[in-house]
Amino acid sequence: MFLDEALVAEGEETGRREEATNEEDKLGPAEWVRTKLGFTPDPIQVRLLDSASKRVILNCTRQWGKSTVTAAKAVHLAVTQKDSLILVVSPGERQSGEFLRKAEDFTRQLGLKVKGDGDNALSLVYPNGSRIVGLPGKEATIRGFSAVSLLVVDEASRVPDEMYKAIRPMLAVSNGTLWLMSTPHGKLGFFHDTWANGGDAWERVKVTAEECPRISKEHLKEEKRVLGERWYKQEYMCEFEDISGGVFDMDMVRAAFKSDIKPLVIP
């Protein structure tokens, strides 16, 4: 009799867990993050979290919270889709480490026990087999990964083009999602080229400091005075400014090239 009661109780508990899981599955990513992680996203962050685009480029002001919202996105994917692989590539180990710390803090709020994968210093392995791995922006350290579900390039304007070309094939088999996020850094490199010329495949999201409710007008006024117009536009207004020191700006240089001129051949 006691055994029958125990089996019934176990079945009821399993049913409750399955019902709770089904309810979680009905939540969109933004609502899941708000409910489960205690993070309240602003309207633009909601748009990012709920985006189903395979290619997203985020051009945002400093101190907007791009790493925080992306860490929340990564944790949601890792928890709700088993065996997911989320890679975070940054210019240096410090940036990747900061991202992983935010992801781990979110994970603790779920009561989940995670561990390292044994191969990568910056990594989280979830009970369902999902992994989040942080990598510094060195080509030699990133080859060998495949079937990536979500590939995040943090501070993308500072990541070398060679690195970007080396990581893109990781998405080939999985048809995974690629997020580029950064403040601008001149009119050079893949981040600027993707923003300006990437085509309709990319969802573009731009967030200036004036659109961020967490940055005061008083702070921006001071920053504009201290940094000067060009740096202020780049760091806070998300504008691609020419690197100082050049005689001609990049738009003039590009305009000087013509594709319809036949090369001079000297016999």
**CATH code of 242's domain:** 3.40.50.300
Q: What pLDDT does residue 57 have? A: 98
Band of the pLDDT at 144, cuts 50, 70, 90?
A: confident
Q: Is the pLDDT of residue 254 over 50?
A: no
Q: What pLDDT does residue 6 have? A: 52
Q: Is the pLDDT of residue 227 over 50?
A: yes
Q: Is the pLDDT of residue 22 over 90?
A: no
Band of the pLDDT at 13, cuts 50, 70, 90?
A: very low
Q: What pLDDT does residue 25 have? A: 60
Q: Is 267 helix (H, G, I), strand (E, B) or coil?
A: coil
Distance from C-alpha of 238 to C-alpha of 190, rounded to nearest angstrom: 16
Query: Residue 242 domain-assigned?
Result: yes
Query: Residue 262 domain-assigned?
Result: no
As a whole number, mean pLDDT of residues 82-95 equals 93
Query: Residue 11 domain-assigned?
Result: no
Q: Is the pLDDT of residue 215 over 90?
A: yes
Q: What pLDDT does residue 169 have? A: 93
Helices (H) and strands (E) in the chain, counts: 11, 7
Burial class (CB in 10 A: 0-12, 13-18, 19+), 90: buried
Q: How many domains does the chain have?
A: 1
Query: Residue 114 domain-assigned?
Result: yes
* Average predicted confidence (pLDDT) for the chain: 85
Query: Residue 126 domain-assigned?
Result: yes
Output the pTM of the full model: 0.80
Query: In sequence order, what are the residues at sequence separation of 6 or more whose Cβ sits closer than 8 angstroms to the Cβ of residue 215?
Result: 61, 63, 64, 209
Q: Is the pLDDT of residue 2 over 70?
A: no
Query: In sequence order, what are the residues at sequence separation of 6 or more whose Cβ sits closer than 8 angstroms to the Cβ of residue 66?
Result: 58, 60, 154, 181
Query: Residue 244 domain-assigned?
Result: yes
Q: Is the pLDDT of residue 5 over 80?
A: no
Residues in the chain: 267
Query: What's the domain range around 200?
Result: 25-256
Query: Residue 179 domain-assigned?
Result: yes
Band of the pLDDT at 14, cuts 50, 70, 90?
A: very low
Query: Residue 86 domain-assigned?
Result: yes
Q: Is the pLDDT of residue 66 over 60?
A: yes
Q: Is the pLDDT of residue 211 over 50?
A: yes
Alpha-carbon radius of gyration of the chain: 22
As a whole number, mean pLDDT of residues 133-159 equals 85
Q: Which of 159-163, 174-178, 239-243 has the lowest mean pLDDT?
A: 239-243
Backbone angles phi, psi at 136, to 5 degrees: -75, 160
Percent of the residues in the chain that have a pLDDT greater than 70, as a whole number: 79
